[in-house]
Structure 1
Amino acid sequence: MPITPTYKCVLLDIEGTTTPISFVHDRLFSYVKNNLLQEQIQLLREQAMKDVNNNLSDVILVPEVQQQGKKTNEEEIKKAIIQNIQWQMKINRKIGAFKSFQGFMWESGYESGELKGEIFDDVLDALKKWKESGIKIYIYSSGSISAQKSLFKNSDKGDLTEYIDGYFDTSIGSKIEKSSYVNIAKEIQLEPRDILFLSDNVKEIISAKSVCYQAAIIERKNNMPLSDDDRKNNIIFTDFLQIFSYLFL
């Protein structure tokens, strides 16, 4: 006998939840190496100088364009950009310059067909089941809303945007701040207890649960390892389809 969901809406993280973490790190970098957007590069360059002035450690500066004869320092700039982005991803930064660069690069790659958003195999079947059951589906990611839409529109499982009712990024608040989840519940006009949040990030799960969301950790290959306390204090799934046989309280 099928279990009737106790939630009216699902809120999904992307990286490590619907999409392999390696997709952002591996595919984005390989695309960046061959495609440089000057306006976005300038934003990264300016942000790096601000970081230096704010005494951040290990900042990677992006050189200005210099020309000697008919040669420029293009390779030096390209190398610095890659290192700068790697540094920002390593420390999990959410600043506008980085997200803007990422979003533009992704949109360009999707339009050209060079990039395809990677989606775990179980996700599409789950999206279909939720949609058939009248469950609303929203996305909440640190990536920009435009980048989120591009990923799901141009995924390796086809255009999945028909299943998604809306998108949220960090303009509504940090993903580890409980106020963000209060804001999302107000925005979609549901009580927090009627929302199921799924993420690989334990801090995000804790914040959502603190304001009465139903929540579960998604454990995927290559995600951050979970501690014994994480396993003791949280519901954990390794596959979206496991959710449909679990009775949330």
Structure 2
Amino acid sequence: MTVRELRFDVDAVDAVDAVVLDIEGTTSATGFVVDVLYPYSRARFGALLAERGDDPRVARALAQVRELTGEPDADAVRIEKTLNLWLDEDRKATPLKTLQGIIWSEGFARGDLVSHFYDDVVPRLRAWHAAGVRLYVYSSGSVAAQRAWFTNSPDGDLTPLVSGLYDTENAGPKQEPESYRRIAESTGVEPARLLFLSDRPGELDAARAAGWRTVGVRRPGEPYFEQGVGDHAQAGTFDEITVITSGSST
């Protein structure tokens, strides 16, 4: 076996086969999501529910909203009010994220939206990918929203860098260790060889409880910056994260 090494500024995260990325506060500014994407979806919920309630994805999300609120007879107007309330609370409800994902995907496709990445992120993702590190995304945003986000970046389509996308529907809640166990099983990567990057201590705790390696990303201005990342290793940018991965000799 040979060892390929990407060496930057801080201690290495040794023997990592895959990096799993959070988006908000980690690869991208939370402010962009809150100030640009949230208002974009809020303005379009009503039309989506009124015009496309028979779409299977929309219909499933509507049923989930009714179940979560305990209002089986809630009409489109009532559901729109619930979605807006959840948006105000920044609640990570799966049907909210599903409907946002539909709206955002269409907005990206029309050219209304272009995603945001911190300047240090894309070069590092390209370097890790080139070195044989598999990249995955795990976000509270739906898989559809993630795909649109990575397809429509300022640096072009980044989806060829990503091996898989996970959200609260196909993996589970981000602060539950079982969700990380599901992802490990899905990727086929041993938990100890998975590295999770996030700005949220509760998510980092859950990943570590599932046997993963963790690095907390602390960026000034982000909501969790002052709180910190507990006793997890931390980095201010992706440039500070060293990844060493084993590969077959050639």
TM-score norm. by structure 2 comes to 0.77
With over 3 angstroms needed to count, the CA separation of the structure-2 counterparts of 1:107 and 1:137, relative to structure 1, is same
Which residues of 2 match residues 93-172 of structure 1 at below 5 A?
A: 93-171=91-169, 172=171
SS of equivalent residue, structure 2 residue 189: coil
More strand by share: 2
Distance in 1 between residues matched to 2:26 and 2:202, nearest whole Å? 14
User: Could you report, residue by residue, the CA deviation over 1:132-176 in whole angstroms, capped at 9, with x for unpaired residues?
Assistant: 210000000111111100000001221111111111111211111
Which residue number corresponds to residue 218 of structure 1? 217
Which residues of 2 match residues 34-45 of structure 1 at below 5 A?
A: 35=44, 38-40=47-49
Q: Which residue of the other structure, out of 29, 34, 44, is the alignment partner of 1:25?
A: 34
SS of equivalent residue, structure 1 residue 158: coil
User: Could you report, residue by residue, the CA deviation over 1:82-125 in whole angstroms, capped at 9, with x for unpaired residues?
Assistant: x7545313434333431222011101110110100111111111
With over 3 angstroms needed to count, the CA separation of the structure-2 counterparts of 1:148 and 1:2, relative to structure 1, is closer
**Does structure 1 conserve the Cα–Cα contact (< 8 Å) formed by 2:201 and 2:229?**
no
Which residue number corresponds to residue 187 of structure 2? 188
Q: What amino acid is the match of 1:180?
A: S
SS of equivalent residue, structure 2 residue 114: coil
Q: What amino acid is the match of 1:210?
A: A
SS of equivalent residue, structure 1 residue 137: strand
Which residue number corresponds to residue 248 of structure 2? none
SS of equivalent residue, structure 1 residue 121: coil
TM-score norm. by structure 1 comes to 0.77
The one of the two structures with greater contact order (alpha-carbon pairs below 8 A, sep at least 6) is: 2
User: Could you report, residue by residue, the CA deviation over 1:172-214 in whole angstroms, capped at 9, with x for unpaired residues?
Assistant: 1111110111111111111111011000111000011112211
User: Could you report, residue by residue, the CA deviation over 1:48-89 in whole angstroms, capped at 9, with x for unpaired residues?
Assistant: 7963759xxxxxx9747xxxxxxxxxxxxxxx95x7545313
Distance in 1 between residues matched to 2:87 and 2:42, nearest whole Å? 16
- CA-based RMSD: 3.1
Count of residue pairs brought into register by the alignment = 224
Gaps of 5+ in 1: 55-60, 65-79
Gaps of 5+ in 2: 245-250
With over 3 angstroms needed to count, the CA separation of the structure-2 counterparts of 1:45 and 1:222, relative to structure 1, is farther
Distance in 1 between residues matched to 2:23 and 2:224, nearest whole Å? 17
Distance in 2 between residues matched to 1:127 and 1:161, nearest whole Å? 11
Distance in 2 between residues matched to 1:45 and 1:2, nearest whole Å? 46
